[in-house]
């Protein structure tokens, strides 16, 4: 298949779904192109987390390593975290003449525009949803959902379009009215070619960072803004834990603005040892997980869950519906949302677990990914959905 994907913001060194999925689809022999935005009008909240200097050179490296082509187009601006492309987007897609167009984010302006035009296009369209209600905090979200239900969802239903759910959640049905029969769930996963246990890397990393083999190492990797609970995380680790173990917290990620300054100042005051690293390239993240004993997420959900588990790391995360399900296989635990005391209590409980029992949690984490959430497996599921959409489109075309 000739697969063209659109993504409002694409960074070739990130570990988002599109980065890994595109790599595997290309590996399977498909012709894959990603169309995304030029960087001139990318908002600060993205550029502070991702280094966009020399982005074209980074694109070239990604293309060389994966075979996936990247095209960057001008945009008018970003509104509510969504890119507003110029008319060059449709022109570029038409010139590429894809077998299928895969638009990431069913709630982007690009997706809604193309959904409305379905039936007048020379190629089929599918899209996906990355949204959860806990992350839908825009003050106009109710008006948006009303608009979507009235003008977009009927087109999706009429044209039997597929909206892939990337989370096992009914947000698209409950809030947007999209039938679940048209919204299959295909989970995220982990690239196990990169993420897997490695004792040698663990020993080397600990030696290089003066971390004892007896230290209990906890890792957080990701954004440190309010939505991901950066300050909540820092405050949880302010006081020493009531345990005869030396706890080390590794924090990987950038901070920004006054909120970020508060986070960093709180880390500095911690009675526990905290080692700070800036945001890493996706391919360089594995060693941080491989060197740790536990991965924590302070708020919401994270794609990093799968990468941590692939390295044999049990996970501690807040008790929302997604995380509760993810950690229900004796591969992790949950704490009460926004409750620092319970977060600390759970950490102390984990620190006191029998080593043999903890080893079982680690083994379960690794098995959970390798048996069901290896990206080699998940990408084949995406491939089948794309092929089915192409087949339906071609069948309808021949009947006309």
The string of DSSP codes covering 317-364 is EE-SHHHHHHTTTTTEEEE-TT-HHHHHHHHHHHHTS-HHHHHHHHHH
**Is residue 229 situated within a structural domain?**
yes
Query: Does residue 138 contact residue 144 with C-beta atoms inside 8 Å?
Result: yes
Looking at the chain, list the stretches that DSSP marks H as alpha helix, in order from N- to C-terminal side.
Answer: 17-27, 44-47, 55-66, 88-96, 109-116, 141-147, 153-158, 171-174, 199-208, 230-236, 257-268, 286-290, 304-310, 321-326, 340-351, 355-372, 375-399
Residues 293 and 206 in one domain: yes
Q: In which residue are the tokens 């991965």 written?
A: 295
Q: Are strands 247-252 and 273-277 parallel, antiparallel or unpaired?
A: parallel
Confidence of residue 372 (pLDDT cuts 50, 70, 90): very high
Single out the residue of 298, 306, 335, 314 nearest to residue 216, CA to CA.
Answer: 314
Residues 65 and 148 in one domain: yes
Neighbours of 241 (CB within 10 A): 17
Single out the residue of 292, 213, 204, 207 nearest to residue 245, CA to CA.
Answer: 213
Give residue-wise pLDDT tens across range 259-279.
999 999 999 999 999 999 999
Residues 133 and 42 in one domain: yes
Residues 180 and 143 in one domain: yes
Q: In which residue are the tokens 């986070």 written?
A: 263
**Is residue 395 situated within a structural domain?**
yes
Structural domain boundaries enclosing 315: 199-372
Residues 156 and 240 in one domain: no
Residues 225 and 344 in one domain: yes
**pTM, entire model:** 0.86
Mean pLDDT score across all residues of the chain: 94
Residues 390 and 361 in one domain: no
Residues 51 and 127 in one domain: yes
Can you tell me the distance from the alpha carbon of 370 to that of 321, in angstroms, rounded to the nearest whole number? 23
**Is residue 194 situated within a structural domain?**
no
Residues 379 and 296 in one domain: no
Within the chain, how many helices (H) and strands (E) appear? 17, 14
| pLDDT(370) > 70 | yes
Residues 65 and 118 in one domain: yes
Share of the chain above pLDDT 90, in %: 85
Query: Where residue 325 sits, what CATH number does that domain have?
Result: 3.40.50.2000
Give residue-wise pLDDT tens across range 160-203.
999 999 988 899 999 999 999 999 999 989 999 999 999 999 99
Number of domains in the chain: 2
- CB burial of 142-180 (b: ≥16 within 10 Å; e: otherwise) equals eeebeebeeebbebbeebebbbbbbbebebbbebbbbee
Single out the residue of 313, 151, 139 nearest to residue 219, CA to CA.
Answer: 313
**Is residue 248 situated within a structural domain?**
yes
Residues 225 and 162 in one domain: no
Residues 182 and 208 in one domain: no
State the pLDDT at residue 272: 96
Query: Does residue 78 contact residue 41 with C-beta atoms inside 8 Å?
Result: yes
State the pLDDT at residue 398: 72
**Is residue 334 situated within a structural domain?**
yes
Query: Does residue 192 contact residue 375 with C-beta atoms inside 8 Å?
Result: yes
The token pair at 106 is 């069913």
The token pair at 146 is 């009303």
State the pLDDT at residue 259: 96
Confidence of residue 137 (pLDDT cuts 50, 70, 90): low
**Is residue 221 situated within a structural domain?**
yes
State the pLDDT at residue 13: 93
**Is residue 162 situated within a structural domain?**
yes
**Is residue 313 situated within a structural domain?**
yes
């Amino acid at each position: 298949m000739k697969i063209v994907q659109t993504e409002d913001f694409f960074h070739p060194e990130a570990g988002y779904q599109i980065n890994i999925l595109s790599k595997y689809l290309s590996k399977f022999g498909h012709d894959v192109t990603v169309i995304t935005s030029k960087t001139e009008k990318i908002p600060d909240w993205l550029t502070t987390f991702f280094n966009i200097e020399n982005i074209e050179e980074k694109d070239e490296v990604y293309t060389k390593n994966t075979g996936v082509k990247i095209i960057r187009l001008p945009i008018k601006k970003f509104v509510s975290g969504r890119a507003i492309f110029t008319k060059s987007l449709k022109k570029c897609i038409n010139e590429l003449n894809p077998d299928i167009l895969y638009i990431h984010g069913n709630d982007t302006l690009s997706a809604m525009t193309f959904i409305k035009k379905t039936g007048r296009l020379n190629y089929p369209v599918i899209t996906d949803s990355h949204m959860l209600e806990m992350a839908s905090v825009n003050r106009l979200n109710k008006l948006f959902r009303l608009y979507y239900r009235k003008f977009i969802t009927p087109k999706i239903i009429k044209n039997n379009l597929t909206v892939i759910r990337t989370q096992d959640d009914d947000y698209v049905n409950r809030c947007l009215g999209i039938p679940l029969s048209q919204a299959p769930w295909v989970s995220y996963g982990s690239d196990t070619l990169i993420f897997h246990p490695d004792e040698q890397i663990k020993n080397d990393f600990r030696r290089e960072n003066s971390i004892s083999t007896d230290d209990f190492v906890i890792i957080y990797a990701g954004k440190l803004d309010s939505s991901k609970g950066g300050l909540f995380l820092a405050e949880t680790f302010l006081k020493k834990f009531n345990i005869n173990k030396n706890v080390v917290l590794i924090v990987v990620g950038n901070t920004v603005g006054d909120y970020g300054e508060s986070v960093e100042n709180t880390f500095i005051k911690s009675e526990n040892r905290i080692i700070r690293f800036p945001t890493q390239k996706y391919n360089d993240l594995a060693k941080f997980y491989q060197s740790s004993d536990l991965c924590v997420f302070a708020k919401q959900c994270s794609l990093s869950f799968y990468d941590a588990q692939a390295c044999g790391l049990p996970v501690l995360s807040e008790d929302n519906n997604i995380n509760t399900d993810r950690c229900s296989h004796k591969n992790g635990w949950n704490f009460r949302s926004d409750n620092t005391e319970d977060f600390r209590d759970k950490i102390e409980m984990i620190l006191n677990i029998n080593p043999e029992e903890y080893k079982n949690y680690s083994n379960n984490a690794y098995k959970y990914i390798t048996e069901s959430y290896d990206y080699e497996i998940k990408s084949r599921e995406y491939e089948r959905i794309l092929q089915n959409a192409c087949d339906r489109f071609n069948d309808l075309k021949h009947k006309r």
